[in-house]
Amino acid sequence: MNSTTFEDLGLIEPLLRALHTEKYEKPTPIQSQAIPHLLQGRDLLGSAQTGTGKTAAFVLPILQRLAAERIFAQKRAPRALVLTPTRELANQIGNSIRTYGRHLRISHTTVYGGVSLQPQIRALSGNIDILVATPGRLLDLMRQRMVRFDRLEVFTLDEADRMLDMGFITDVKKIISELPDKKQTLFFSATMPREALDLASKLLKDPVEVKVDPTSTTAEKVEQKLFFVGRNDKEALLLSLLEDPAINRALIFTRTKHKANNIAKKLNSHKVLTEAIHGNKSQGARMQALRNFSAGRARVLVATDVASRGIDIKEVSHVINFEMPNEPESYVHRIGRTARAGASGIAISFCDVDERAFLGNIERVTRIPLPVDVEHPFHCEIAARAPKGGMRNGKPGAGGYHKRGGFRSQQRRPRAGASKR
């Protein structure tokens, strides 16, 4: 389907009015492909990355379906359930329901772990149409008989591959076993590993399949840059870049919690207001960090991949991969945090010599060679010349390798006038 406006998709006027208020005029590919089928009540198997407009693709049809039937909400008995892996993503979906459903009398609540159970129990004790939940907390509530699903009409399983990565598959299967057979089911996953496909085949009935190619979603409005740099020069390069006021709201990614903390500490010591989020942070600390970043009280947010799932902060000017992700899909997720809602954005990746294999995998998946910037003051020629395949037969694949010290970082001296930090 090649619909060009939300009106073409068959959405009702209250939803169109809410979209207009948010200045959303043109549906994304996943929205134009999925929404008409979902409005017809079809089950759906959707393959789409975070940042493609996936949330609206399922929230809008759910709202329209529930609004069409004059059924009063009941206590502890949602008509729609959205199951998602992380607290941040649950909050994002809840915010989307509130935004798009502002002109409808549709109630919803969000439940997740890491916070007190009692306020969530009180919320469920009120009348509720849509429940957004993470698996562990939902199971807790089900065991206490605080929620029932005899009135359930729509079930959405979001980020199925991440559910598998985070070890939630057993909890997910327990929840599914308690749901009624007669329902509309939506299954979304950025990638489709075998275990996800097996689960989808058991869950879906005659589904329509919708797939959005990550190649088109990553690079469409994101300007990508690649900086080859020695590992020990990455912090100096980052500080040099942040001297540019155009980088007004930067999201920096690392592979580990330890590195995220170190970078945040380093930047704050240089008067760059920075927050960090990762799995070791409490829910309250993570939400406060996100609020500070979203409100502009922090210029930089440093995050790990898992902690960043569900971050939907508008006007992120730059994404900086301080460490290259070891999975190509993570690269797509990371840079999708900028250039959202029709805006443009810039994604900068630091690559040292030991990360060339990660770079090669990313470029094979996206089928787009990352443009290399050699004009920065910490360009590392050894990293630039190393093979993209990284290790070959257990050995490094190119020059620059030293038997005793491994790869030796070769740095260029900063040119005159460049930052010497």
- pLDDT digit string (tens) for 361-392? 888 777 778 999 999 999 999 999 988 654 33
- Candidate from 63-67, 301-305, 390-394 with smallest mean pLDDT: 390-394
Among candidate residues 387, 379, 388, the one with its CA nearest the CA of residue 410: 379
If one looks up domain 216-407 in CATH, what number appears? 3.40.50.300
| pLDDT at residue 99 is higher than 80 | yes
Tell which residue, 164, 206, 160, has the closest CA to residue 50: 160
In total, the chain counts a number of residues equal to 421
In 10 A of CB 178, how many CB atoms? 13
Which has the closest alpha carbon to 261: 308, 301, 321, 312? 301
CA pair distance 44, 211, nearest whole angstrom = 10
Distance CA 340, CA 12 (A): 24
* Tens digit of each residue's pLDDT (9 = 90 or more) over 334-348: 887 776 655 668 999
* 308: confidence class by pLDDT, cuts 50, 70, 90: low
Are 80 and 152 spatial neighbours (Cβ–Cβ below 8 Å)?
yes
Spatial distance between the Cα atoms of 163 and 402, rounded to a whole number of angstroms: 41
pLDDT in tens, 254-286: 999 999 999 999 999 999 999 999 878 877 888
Q: At 287, is the pLDDT very low, low, confident or very high (cuts 50, 70, 90)?
A: confident
7-212 and 216-407: identical CATH topology: yes
Q: Where are the domains of the chain?
A: 7-212, 216-407
Q: Residue 214 — pLDDT band, cuts 50, 70, 90?
A: low
- Residue range 45-69: mean pLDDT, rounded: 89
Nearest-CA neighbor of 114 among 370, 272, 285, 261? 285
The structure tokens listed for 350 are 């630091």
Give the whole-angstrom CA distance, residue 7 versus residue 66.
Answer: 19
- pLDDT score at 194: 87
195's tokens: 């275990």
Angle (CA) 342 348 352, round 5°: 155
What mean pLDDT do residues 319-323 have?
96
Distance CA 149, CA 144 (A): 14
Q: Which long-range contacts (CB under 8 A, 24 or more apart) does 292-300 make?
A: 293/249, 296/249, 297/273, 298/273, 298/274, 299/242, 299/247, 299/248, 299/249, 299/250, 299/272, 299/273, 299/274, 300/242, 300/250, 300/251, 300/252, 300/264, 300/267, 300/272, 300/273, 300/274, 300/275
CATH number of 7-212: 3.40.50.300
Nearest to 121 by CA among 105, 142, 100: 142
What is the mean predicted confidence (pLDDT) over 319-328? 90
Query: Which secondary-structure segment (H or E) carries 144?
Result: none
Confirm if 349 and 370 have CB atoms less than 8 A apart. yes
What pLDDT was estimated at residue 333?
A: 77
At residue 397, the pLDDT reads 36
Handedness of CA 205, 209, 210, 215 (dihedral sign): positive
358/390 Cα distance (integer angstroms): 8
User: Where are the strands (E) in 118-265, listed by range?
Assistant: 127-128, 130-133, 154-157, 184-189, 208-211, 222-228, 250-254
Rounded to an integer, what distance in angstroms lies between the CA atom of residue 152 and that of residue 155?
A: 8
